[in-house]
Amino acid sequence: MPEVSRFYGVVIRMFFNEHNPPHFHAQYGDDMALIEIATLSVFAGQLPPRALGLVIEWAATHRQELLDNWERARQHGEIARIGPLR
């Protein structure tokens, strides 16, 4: 699963040819959550509140890039790296 970004101990990844809804995987330590891009809500798993806040802040800033990557992944294209939270 390609790594999209990494910041403050959080790793963001996307699978190729993944199921709907458009989403990404966020991992922090042993915790993992699937985050829907359109709503920025967790629909599977969980993250500690602070890590989840950082992920949501990052995703809100990069929503269009995430959607573009989602389309690339669905077509088995190259997934672009997205800058970290600053």
Which sequence spans correspond to the domains of the chain? 3-74
What pLDDT score was predicted for residue 86? 87
Average pLDDT over residues 71-78: 89
pLDDT tens, 2-14? 999 999 999 999 9
Write out the two tokens for 36.
């829907």
Q: Is a pLDDT exceeding 80 seen at residue 45?
A: yes
Cis-peptide into 21, omega within 30 deg:
yes
pTM of full prediction above 0.85? yes
> Could you tell me which residues come within 8 angstroms of residue 72 by beta carbon, excluding any fewer than 6 positions away?
78, 79, 80
